[in-house]
Amino acid sequence: MTQEFRLPAGGRIDRSELLSFTFDGQTYIGYRGDTVASALLANGVHLVGRSFKYHRPRGIVSAGVEEPNALIDCNVTAAEKGTREANNRATFTELRQGLTTKSVNAFPNLNFDIGAINAVMARFIPAGFYYKSFLVSTTMWHRLIEPVIRRAAGLGVSDDVADISRYDAHYQHADVVIVGAGPTGLQAARTAAKSGARVILVEQDTECGGSLLRDPVEIDGMDADLWVATVEAELAQADNVRVMTRTTLSGIFDHNMLTALERVTDHLDIPEADGDLRPRMRWHRIRAKQVVLATGAFERPLVFRNNDLPGIMFASAVETYLQRYGVKTGEQGLFLINNDMALSAAIKAKEAGVEVTVVDVRSESTGPYTERLQAMGVPFFTNHTLVEAKGTKRVKGAVIAPMNGDGTAIAGELQTIECDFIGSSSGYNPIVHLHCQSGAKLDFDPATACFVPGAPVSATPTISAGGAKGLFSLNDALLSGADVAAQALDAIGLAHGEKTVVSASEEAHPGSLHIRHLWLLPSDKPTSKGGKFWVDFQNDVTAADLELAVRENFRSVEHIKRYTTLGMATDQGKTSNINALGILSDVLGVTIPDIGTTTFRPPYTPTTFGAIAGREPGDFLDVARTTPMHDWHVEHGALFEDVGQWKRAWYYPKPGETMHAAVDRECRAVRESLGILDASTLGKIIVKGPDAAEFLNRVYTNKWMKLGIGRCRYGLMLGEDGMIMDDGVSARVAEDEFLMTTTTGGAAGVLSHLEDYLQTEWTDLKVYLTSVTEQWAVASINGPKARDLLAELCEDVDLSPDAFKFMEWKDATVAGLPARIFRISFTGDLAFEINVPADKGMALWTALITAGAKYGITPYGTEAMHVLRAEKGFIIVGQDTDGSLNPYDMDMGWIVGKDKADFIGKRSLTRKDMSEPLRKQYVGILTEDPKEVLPEGAQLVNLTDAPTTAAPKEPVPMQGHVSSSYWSSAAGRSIALGLVKGGLARKGETLVVPMPDGRNVKVTLGDTVFVDAVGARQHG
Amino acid sequence: MLLIRCPYCEQERPEVEFSFAHQAHKPRPEEAGEPLDDHAWARWVYYQKNIKGVAHERWNHAGGCRKFFNVVRDTVTSEIIATYRSGETPPVEESRVEGEALSFDYEQAEG
Ligand SMILES: [Zn+2]
């Protein structure tokens, strides 16, 4: 409650606004402008989490998005259900009044964590533990290992209700997008702004300034604040520039399609008050001609024994907490560094009244910062290693020792230095994530011991500047910002005026890092003995784990990553990767560039799913296509089935009726009297032109040239590979016009397939294709009373069997509506498909229902349709076929026009393999017990191979599978269809279907037609 | 997400309007009147060049004019080097990146 570590003055926080918040149930106070992490540190709280695998106590290590340890769940009370968010970085979460937060990975609580038992068991959880555990018996995995791991591991807790927040999407175009509004990005924006280009400057932080927020250096003769404000004012004047703060550029995709997440209301005390229409976040998709990456650099830590104790953090983080938030990390600080730049933090700490010691791993330390520290009387140990950090829940001290010349071993007396925090720096890594996402490669710069951006990719051009390019001196960065903006403008042919050249005050920064890279600090014991050397905090990967992986012969860094889990989870190795590569390079004896890096993938930082979904969750996720009669189906209690994007009535249960009973009732109605199906969803394509018949002749297997006007024909469509791809009935409307129907789900694919051939192969054919699927509504009436009903509503057509034959169609007036009647049948019963213009669909449907009442007209859905067609053995493409079955396999050789000159698939059908007798072939399957309905997908095996136990040790050779299976009242028993090796010649043979419950169900193969084998009904 | 210029609409449009069809310039052998043996036919049906480098591809402006057209694309960088109408001669030849053979050796692959 006291903020005892808050400095009396300074920082960018607003001391007039006190905010209270909770962390693990305890209430704390901070200021507006704080992050949760800075407010916790102000209150002396360092222990904020437990590690993923060993449940080690972990503290805040950074002051930014790269934080691996300080993960918190936000909005954690019951009253905030629907807004909870897991795994936020406390170092990046803005404080607001009343914010509730909770640590992750701690059970039962942070201070007494039962999972720390894992730490005692550490030697049993080495690298590759998960993979090795998979190799033990599955029983042991399921019963023992997995439950234990699940209980102890895992990060934050997600909400168990839907997200109630609102999110928006925003699309933008820009000439130049500049990522990062630090000194480099600001200078780039100024230059770009003057050209008149459309410029967007994106900054993830709450305000512009970048490193100046931590280290406010005088620029252009102004103090940092004034300089930033001046530039901001200049940009605000330019109406071609948009500056977006609190916005993270998360991804770069092909041709510079950028995604950016803008946090709009999270930082407000009342995030979404009534009437406040602002979304919680906006998801921006920006198409940019050029992208300037001024994303800066991350500091990386040195790796030493017990380097994960709370209180050990990045040197730059110590500096940020002091300068930006006015918070002292502790009273006694030890700075462990290997470069000049990091000493800035030690100076700031000393100036703030902290007791400071510097341990410099370099043999010499001579830069301007060193001189200042020595002048301030700070104890300075050069060529020293940190042997081991001491403490349990907070660092209490450090054992240091002199090193030998090459820094591989200690060479001298150990001594212990008391401290309550350690600021560590092993150098800096340019933030190259976005550069790499664009597809560009990295180069290794030995002078600064880091990867820097390589040449950009021409299709997705980005240019890096400043720290992101490996320029760590402020003056270099300022120059490069303006240079790179000019370069970007040149690339898109926009003239730029004079570059604005500014410089920072002379003594501000050392000219270069003077880095000495020691990837692993020498200690008195090897890495495998005593305390651990942590490389990846978030995944608990140690130096010993990496060494073990190499001993087990892992070589590729991508493999080592997966084996050890290095660089996974929410921080994606932002702080750990280079250290790991350095250690691997020492162990493998190869250079870092030869090891290479792992892949950088979007998003740059974790992104809320809700923001990506925007306004399109739930029903808005995808288009729902409904038929003109849809509302009737809804009113009459239909359940729906998705077929492609269509909502099709599945079945119409009466109150209390099971699915089985409803489907059975619907099927019986069709066979005994009258049923009606909404068939509007079938694909319908007009094929028109002088060569329409020739075209159909080439795309279907059978003959079409002589089909008379007014007649219909079933067609089977193959791919070039000879396999069935679609089927349907086409009608000849005129000499030069056909109406083709396709399967509901196949319509779009068939149209595209046909267009491809017309436009690219058969350009001489004069044919046009037009999709009319949605122009027609179709009611299909089926059953013995179908003609009686239609006769009542249609007076201008003679419906008698001789006048209107099966497979004919006629123009007609039905219920006063203009219609086309097709006498075709997918049920094998007497059937008429009545097509009317779509807007007349509901009128037709209700007229049929009303007039059909006397026949007990029963609406039936797709499930009954499937049963009825199965009773007749009619195939459903995609259910009974799977893209590997040809017409002969389906016993449909009768539809193949062998003497036709050509059709798609013809040549493939002549291949020897296509008529191989042991191919899977289409057969009927009857169970020994007529009441047993087989599960679809069930496998068939030979009688002699029938397994004797539920889980046979040896695999049994499969003979085939069940593709369709139903109860059929018309057949008085269960029926099934399936594909069986050589099945056509095996009718009458008995096979066995082993069931999941261990039973062997005997079945007999037979014909595929179960009802009305002679086909009398449909011709009736 | 790619930006593709449709040579019929004569506009650069986003990738979501298009669908990839298949390798370009792969006419049906039967059309050319060359009867192929089973082996050669199977190659035509089942094998694609799968170029790492500059490739000729056929795309469809499915959400636009519905025309099929050809694209010269660098499959490594996804750069669209050119687009042209069906039936036109490719303005840029195919090429594989260094170290990759220009044409796939089917015989070797089939052992
Ligand atoms: Zn087009």
Q: How far is the CA of A434 from the centre of ligand 1 (A)?
A: 32
Cα Rg of chain A, angstroms: 37
Task: List CB contacts (< 8 A) between B46 and chain A.
Answer: 721
Asked if the domains at A167-297+430-492 and A301-426 fall in one CATH topology, the answer is yes
Nearest to A759 among B31, B41, B68 (CB): B68
In the block, tokens 């009244």 appear at: A353
Which residues of chain A are modeled with pLDDT < 70?
1, 106-154, 271-274, 506-509, 511
Under an 8 A CB cutoff, do A439 and B66 touch? no
Residue of A819 and B27 predicted with greater confidence: A819
Q: Domain coordinates of chain A in residue numbers?
A: 1-161, 167-297+430-492, 301-426, 534-588, 634-680+775-869, 687-772, 917-1020
In the block, tokens 């004919």 appear at: A808
Could you report how far apart the first and last alpha carbons of chain A are, in Å? 90
> What φ, ψ does residue A381 adopt, rounded to 5°?
-105, 110
Q: Domain coordinates of chain B in residue numbers?
A: 3-95
**A764 and B CB contact within 8 Å:** no
Tell me which fold the domain A167-297+430-492 belongs to.
FAD/NAD(P)-binding domain (3.50.50)
For A83, the 3-state DSSP assignment is coil
Tell me which fold the domain B3-95 belongs to.
Folate-binding fold (3.30.2270)
**A555 and B CB contact within 8 Å:** no
* Residue whose C-alpha is closest to residue A737's, from A778, A763, A709, A773: A709
**A915 and B CB contact within 8 Å:** no
Cα dihedral sign for A219, A446, A532, A401?
A: negative
> Which region, left, alpha or beta, applies to residue A833 given φ > 0 means left and ψ of -120 to 50 means alpha?
beta
Under an 8 A CB cutoff, do B86 and A759 touch? yes
**Mind listing the pLDDT tens digit for each residue in A607-647?**
999 999 999 888 888 899 999 999 999 999 999 999 999 99
The amino acid at A134: F
Nearest to A255 among B3, B28, B87 (CB): B3
* Residue whose C-alpha is closest to residue A368's, from A346, A391, A392: A346
How near does any CA of chain B get to the CA of A441, in Å? 12
Nearest CA in chain B to A719: B45
Task: List CB contacts (< 8 A) between B58 and chain A.
Answer: 756, 760
For residues A14 and A23, the answer to whether their CB atoms sit within 8 Å is no
Q: Which residues contact A524 (CB under 8 A, 6 or more apart)?
A: A387, A388, A401, A410, A414
* Residue whose C-alpha is closest to residue A670's, from A343, A970, A445, A258: A970
Q: How far is the CA of B79 from the centre of ligand 1 (A)?
A: 19
Nearest CA in chain B to A255: B2
> What φ, ψ does residue A755 adopt, rounded to 5°?
-60, -40
Q: What is the pLDDT of residue B111?
A: 41
DSSP per position, A975-987: EEEEEEETGGG-T
Domain A634-680+775-869 listed as CATH 3.30.1360.120:
yes
Element (H, E) at B41: helix B38-46
The amino acid at B46: Y
Nearest to B77 among A287, A459, A759 (CB): A459
> What φ, ψ does residue A841 adopt, rounded to 5°?
-60, -45
Under an 8 A CB cutoff, do A254 and B30 touch? no
Under an 8 A CB cutoff, do A460 and B78 touch? yes
Structure tokens belonging to residue A944: 């002699």
Neighbours of ion ligand 1 (CB under 5 A): B 6, 8-9, 61, 64-65
- What class is the A687-772 domain? alpha beta
Predicted TM-score (pTM) of this structure: 0.90
The amino acid at A140: M
How near does any CA of chain A get to the CA of B53, in Å? 13
Task: List CB contacts (< 8 A) between B21 and chain A.
Answer: 752, 756
* Residue whose C-alpha is closest to residue A203's, from A237, A187, A179: A179
Q: Within 10 Å of residue A285's Cβ, how many Cβ atoms?
A: 17
Cα dihedral sign for A883, A886, A892, A895?
A: positive
Under an 8 A CB cutoff, do B28 and A755 touch? no
For A212, the 3-state DSSP assignment is helix
Q: Which residues contact A845 (CB under 8 A, 6 or more apart)?
A: A628, A629, A632, A676, A678, A777, A779
How near does any CA of chain A get to the CA of B106, in Å? 18
How near does any CA of chain A get to the CA of B71, in Å? 14
Tally of residues, chain B: 111
For A483, the 3-state DSSP assignment is helix
How near does any CA of chain B get to the CA of A747, in Å? 13
**A458 and B CB contact within 8 Å:** yes
Task: List CB contacts (< 8 A) between B62 and chain A.
Answer: 752
Superfamily assignment of A917-1020 in CATH? Aminomethyltransferase beta-barrel domains (2.40.30.110)
**A276 and B CB contact within 8 Å:** no
In a mutational test of the A interface, the residue from B39, B47, B66 whose CB has the highest number of chain A CBs within 10 Å is: B66
Rounded to whole angstroms, how far apart are CA atoms A552 and A567?
Answer: 19
Rounded to whole angstroms, how far apart are CA atoms A119 and A114?
Answer: 10
For residues A666 and A829, the answer to whether their CB atoms sit within 8 Å is no
Q: How far is the CA of A758 from the centre of ligand 1 (A)?
A: 16
Q: What is the pLDDT of residue A150?
A: 55
Beta-strand ranges (E) seen in A431-529 are 442-445, 450-453, 462-464
Q: How far is the CA of A282 from the centre of ligand 1 (A)?
A: 31
What CATH number was assigned to the domain covering residues A1-161? 3.10.20.440
In a mutational test of the B interface, the residue from A759, A767, A903 whose CB has the highest number of chain B CBs within 10 Å is: A759
Under an 8 A CB cutoff, do A439 and B77 touch? yes
Q: Which residues contact A407 (CB under 8 A, 6 or more apart)?
A: A361, A383, A385, A516, A518, A522
**Mind listing the pLDDT tens digit for each residue in A968-978?**
999 999 999 99
For A301, the 3-state DSSP assignment is coil
Q: Which CATH architecture has domain A301-426?
A: 3-Layer(bba) Sandwich (3.50)
* Residue whose C-alpha is closest to residue A692's, from A707, A680, A681, A682: A707
The amino acid at A107: F
Q: How far is the CA of A901 from the centre of ligand 1 (A)?
A: 34
b/e burial code for range A873-882 (CB count within 10 A of at least 16 → b): bbbbbeebbe
Q: Which residues contact B82 (CB under 8 A, 6 or more apart)?
A: B71, B72, B90, B91, B92
In a mutational test of the B interface, the residue from A760, A762, A904, A906 whose CB has the highest number of chain B CBs within 10 Å is: A760
Structure tokens belonging to residue A1003: 């079945």
* Residue whose C-alpha is closest to residue A568's, from A595, A532, A606: A606
Chains A and B form CB pairs within 8 A to the count of 63
Under an 8 A CB cutoff, do A720 and B45 touch? yes
Long-range contacts of range A638-643, CB-CB < 8 Å, 24 or more positions apart? Answer: A638/A859, A638/A861, A639/A861, A641/A861, A641/A862, A641/A863, A643/A681, A643/A744, A643/A745, A643/A862
Q: The complex's ipTM?
A: 0.94
Listed in sequence order, the DSSP H helices in A539-608 are 543-551, 557-564, 577-588, 592-595
Nearest to B21 among A254, A756, A902 (CB): A756
Name every residue in B having a CB less than 8 A away from some CB of A: 1-3, 14-15, 19, 21, 27-28, 30-31, 36, 38, 41-42, 45-46, 58, 60, 62, 66-68, 74, 77-80, 86-87
Q: How far is the CA of B17 from the centre of ligand 1 (A)?
A: 9
Rounded to whole angstroms, how far apart are CA atoms A511 and A341?
Answer: 9
Cα distances (Å, whole numbers) of residue A668 to A293, A652, A1019: 69, 14, 19
Task: List CB contacts (< 8 A) between A623 and chain B.
Answer: none
Q: Which CATH architecture has domain A534-588?
A: Orthogonal Bundle (1.10)
Q: What is the pLDDT of residue A148?
A: 58
